[in-house]
Amino acid sequence: MKKRSIFLISSLAFGFSFLYVPILVMIAFSFNEANLSTTWTGLSLKWYQKLFENEQALKALMLSLRIALISATFATILGTLAGLALARFGHFKSRLFLAGMVSAPLVMPEVITGLAMLLFFISIGGLIGWPSGRGVTTITIAHITFSMAYVAVVVQSRLSSLDQSLEEAAMDLGGRPIRIFFDITLPLTAPAMMAGWLLAFTLSLDDLVISSFVSGPGANTLPMYIFSKVKLGISPDINALATLMIGTVACTIGLAGYLSMRHRASRGSGDG
């Protein structure tokens, strides 16, 4: 600390408690024996047991994971193309249009995106017979569309921060553009693509509003299942589910953060 100010330290303490106390309380009460979240009656794993016997929840989880895997992969491919074009192709004719279309899904309220996609699927379903119904396919397409925008932003900012001399050198030496892309640009972009894929995966796994709009009968994703349950009030097995999900994410991100910090430290540049 350069200057220790009581005001700044207490606002940091307040802010971080505000961010983390609710989560910690939820985690603690997932191990509580009682139904209510007011009283602590004893340590118990019964809500976890109940959760693993809950077939509906497990089915929803599997469906969400499947959608997240597919949509994150396609979003990473399409988002990388968009990010590459915005960062490396200079000024082309449709640049402003593409830039606008990439950033629009980031700021668009979810209810509007969800409504628009649903009405679109119904309209073209009526016109050309595809998609014939709503469900996994429509949810996956919707997720690809909004998460590719996030991937594009991550990839674009990574590529803009790298200088182009390697690619230019390869170009001057007569390399074919496609070879240059696979041999030079792609390896440079790989960390950003990984980060983008993880982001797209998380966004898909977490999306409730857009999925609810474009889903059909039978396709219940995990957030849709959770929402339908917690709308009626708190339920301890959802606390258990939340603990497992948040625990997984925290461990993964914590490990990634720790590794990148060590990597940075070993390179000796402390500024992030």
Query: Which residues, numbered 42-71, are part of the site for other proteins (CB under 8 A)?
Result: none
Report the residue number, 98 or 188, with the smaller CB distance to other proteins. Answer: 98
**Length of the chain, please?**
272
Select from 1-9, 46-54, 55-63, 128-136 the region that touches other proteins (CB under 8 A).
1-9
Residue 253 interacts with other proteins (CB under 8 A): yes or no: yes
- Burial group, residue 27, by CB count within 10 angstroms (0-12, 13-18, 19+): middle
Touching other proteins, residues 153-212 (CB under 8 A): 160, 171-172, 174, 176-178, 181, 202, 205-206, 208-209
| Tokens standing for residue 187 | 């390896």
51 Cβ partners below 8 Å, 6+ apart? 57, 237, 240, 241, 244
State yes or no: residue 20 binds other proteins (CB under 8 A): yes
As a whole number of angstroms, the distance between CA 69 and CA 78 comes to 15
Per-residue interface string for the shown chain with other proteins, residues 113-152, x marking contact by CB under 8 A: x-xxx-xx-xx--x--------------xx-xx--x---x
For other proteins, the binding residues in 80-119 under the rule CB under 8 A are 81-82, 84-85, 89, 92, 94, 97-105, 107, 109-113, 115-117, 119
Q: Is 38 in the site for other proteins (CB under 8 A)?
A: yes
- The per-residue b/e assignment along 140-152, b for 16 or more CB within 10 angstroms, e otherwise, is bbbbbbbbbbbbb
